[in-house]
Chain A
Amino acid sequence: MNELAIGTNDLAKTYAGFHAVCGIDLNVPRGTIYGFLGRNGAGKTTTIKMLMGLARPSAGSAHVLEMDVSTKRIAILQRTAFVSEKKTLYPSLTPAELVRFSRGFYPTWSDHAVERYAQLFEIPMKQKFDKLSNGNQTKVFLLLALCQGADLLVLDEPTTALDPVSVDQLLHVLAEDALDRGCTVFFSSHQLEEVEQIAEYVGILDHGKLLMEARLDDIKSEFRLITAAGNSLPAQTSPQILSVDVEGDFHRYVVTKDADAFAAGLAGNGATITNIASLNLREIFLHLVRKETPCISGNVGATPVPLQ
């Protein structure tokens, strides 16, 4: 396994009895792009806040660039660029002034990158931040993050308010420039197509639980939706069975590996296999988040698939 850029162990966050994050084990390998998926309120932003030292974990631990977030916050922030879900910056400052403000915090800051990305994203550098369009405000945030020369980019819904051209430019920058520098990109999104376009790994979070963590190539090559009809078929999830949907005699399984062997096993138990289909990320996402029951017990463990 690669070294981890982000690793969490049973990480949990509770707000006044509400379990926002329920004991998740994230494994984000270095030098990769990791898409962190989930519906609204799934716990993505809370997880990211804990990684960035903006919120304290209620339980568990988290390491960023192999440093403990609770004790090495400053060292982590020195090497991490962060784009928040809220794209608000000082309203009276221009992008040029925001660059001037941010530059001094980072020894690895690149003015060359400022020029390049300001031109690429067509950012009006002399206009006050609050006078910029929402899309341009998001671009300024991204510009400040990309120019830090960070080892890890943590982006919370980075494509908010961006037009399709800008989204494409950003994805290109992340996939080409960031990875070329050996930078790890960890980004949350609702846009499955964007994630599928550039991510190497994905994690799916729902109701605070990590439902799945896998390599995107594995999803394409290994994950299968098996539809079987029969009685007394297994209805429990396991590392191999990501989800089970039962309707009468029909069982629909999302399996993570060895689909043919699994189907043969079902057939051996008297089931009739009606279909074996490959899945894309969108289908997996929908299967997972529509089935899981909410986390109500607090420290419910996720069932992550080990990274290969």
Chain B
Amino acid sequence: MYLWKCWRDTRSFAVVFMVMAAAVMPVTAAIGVGTTLLEKGFAKGIFISTLVFMLFVVALGLGAIGAIQEFTDKTAHFLFTKPRPRFYFVWIGWVVGCTEILAIALVNVLVGGITLAHYGKIPFGSVVFDLIKKQDVAPILIDALFIYSLTYSLTAVLRNGLKGLGASMGSLAILQALAVAIRMRWNVNVPLPPQPIGSLSQAISNLVWMLVALLLVFSAQLVVERVEI
């Protein structure tokens, strides 16, 4: 039902990025063959930075196109007269986007891991284990989920994908600027996702950032539940 409809709305976007996620490392590695860059860790650097960039774009994009499209399409009267509570629609839409982000990340990590293993002549298992152990991937994922949740919530609240995207990018920029300003003025380190919070470990901080992301969606739910059509 609504899950299928959300997937249908976002599948083109998700599939394009999934293909990019699968292609970026093999292409980079193929270009780097014959140089010493692959052995010097260049490939891993490329892998991490492409993952960060790709998930950032995917999070913003899915947040803007996946959230309660009914307001933009002017079909809210149709959806919200279906016998389901409104929070159902808010969370189903969020879950679909979340799953797509995780799938894109998974494809990127798997193909990237295989590529690194192949060209670096090291076992695939140890490449992936190394990425997880060094906390390379988890904070990137948490950051992506936070950005996605922020964009999704703002899009749902503002009832418009473009406005949601703009507000989200603006909020992220303002948060960064505020954090820098506070650090420079008062020498206080304000953590932003996915940085560790105070003395908490990265794993615990990741959980806290996840909760913050869920709270953003919950606040969007409260707004959507109150909206009159």
Which residues in A have some Cβ–Cβ distance to B below 8 Å? 49, 52-56, 74-75, 77-78, 80, 82, 84, 86, 88-93, 100-102, 104-106
**Per-position contact with A for B97-140: 1 when CB-CB < 8 Å, else 0?**
00000000000000000000000000000000000000000000
Residue of B nearest to A50 (CB): B228
Find out whether the CB atom of B82 lies under 8 angstroms from the CB atom of A105: yes
Distance (Å) between the CB of A211 and the closest chain B CB? 26
A56 to B4, CA, bound (A): 30
- Nearest 4 A/B pairs, CB to CB: A104-B1, A77-B83, A78-B83, A54-B229
A105 to B1, CA, bound (A): 7
Residue of A nearest to B82 (CB): A105
**A/B interface sample: 11 pairs, CB < 8 A:** A49-B228, A49-B229, A56-B228, A77-B83, A80-B81, A84-B77, A91-B73, A92-B8, A102-B82, A105-B82, A105-B84
A92 to B10, CA, bound (A): 12
Q: What number of residue pairs across chains A and B have CB atoms under 8 A from each other?
A: 56
Contact of B81 among A52, A56, A90, A91 (CB under 8 A): A52
The B interface, classified by DSSP as helix, strand, loop or mixed, is loop
A181 to B80, CA, bound (A): 26
Find out whether the CB atom of A88 lies under 8 angstroms from the CB atom of B83: no
* Chain B residues whose CB sits within 8 angstroms of the CB of A106 once the complex forms: 83
Q: Is B186's CB within 8 Å of the partner chain A?
A: no
Find out whether the CB atom of B228 lies under 8 angstroms from the CB atom of A88: no
Find out whether the CB atom of A101 lies under 8 angstroms from the CB atom of B5: yes
Find out whether the CB atom of A88 lies under 8 angstroms from the CB atom of B75: yes
* Chain B residues whose CB sits within 8 angstroms of the CB of A77 once the complex forms: 81-83
Asked, given contacts A56-B228, A88-B73, whether A82 binds B1 with beta carbons under 8 Å apart, the answer is no
Asked, given contacts A86-B77, A90-B75, whether A74 binds B83 with beta carbons under 8 Å apart, the answer is yes
* Chain A residues whose CB sits within 8 angstroms of the CB of B74 once the complex forms: 86, 88
Contact of A74 among B2, B4, B77, B85 (CB under 8 A): B85
Which residues in B have some Cβ–Cβ distance to A below 8 Å? 1-2, 4-5, 8, 73-75, 77-78, 80-85, 228-229
Distance (Å) between the CB of A142 and the closest chain B CB? 13
Distance (Å) between the CB of A155 and the closest chain B CB? 12
* Chain B residues whose CB sits within 8 angstroms of the CB of A55 once the complex forms: 228-229
Find out whether the CB atom of A54 lies under 8 angstroms from the CB atom of B80: yes
* Chain B residues whose CB sits within 8 angstroms of the CB of A91 once the complex forms: 73
A101 to B85, CA, bound (A): 16
Residue of A nearest to B69 (CB): A90
Contact of B4 among A54, A84, A101 (CB under 8 A): A101
Residue of A nearest to B228 (CB): A55
* Chain A residues whose CB sits within 8 angstroms of the CB of B5 once the complex forms: 90, 93, 101
A105 to B84, CA, bound (A): 8
* Chain B residues whose CB sits within 8 angstroms of the CB of A84 once the complex forms: 77-78, 81
Find out whether the CB atom of B73 lies under 8 angstroms from the CB atom of A54: no
Find out whether the CB atom of B80 lies under 8 angstroms from the CB atom of A74: no
Q: Which of B4, B75, B78, B80 has the most CB of A within 10 A?
A: B78
Asked, given contacts A54-B229, A84-B78, whether A90 binds B83 with beta carbons under 8 Å apart, the answer is no
A78 to B85, CA, bound (A): 11
Find out whether the CB atom of B75 lies under 8 angstroms from the CB atom of A54: no
Distance (Å) between the CB of B88 and the closest chain A CB? 10
Q: Which of B2, B4, B75 has the most CB of A within 10 A?
A: B75
Distance (Å) between the CB of B85 and the closest chain A CB? 6
Distance (Å) between the CB of A153 and the closest chain B CB? 12
* Chain B residues whose CB sits within 8 angstroms of the CB of A86 once the complex forms: 74, 77
Distance (Å) between the CB of B200 and the closest chain A CB? 41
Distance (Å) between the CB of A91 and the closest chain B CB? 7
A52 to B78, CA, bound (A): 11
* Chain A residues whose CB sits within 8 angstroms of the CB of B78 once the complex forms: 84, 88-89
Distance (Å) between the CB of B6 and the closest chain A CB? 11
Q: Which of B1, B2, B75, B81 has the most CB of A within 10 A?
A: B81
A84 to B78, CA, bound (A): 7
* Chain B residues whose CB sits within 8 angstroms of the CB of A53 once the complex forms: 80-81
User: Apart from A54-B77, A74-B84, A78-B83, what are 18 other A-B pairs with CB-CB below 8 Å?
Assistant: A49-B229, A54-B80, A56-B228, A75-B83, A77-B83, A82-B77, A84-B78, A86-B77, A88-B78, A90-B73, A90-B75, A91-B73, A93-B8, A100-B4, A101-B4, A101-B5, A102-B82, A105-B83
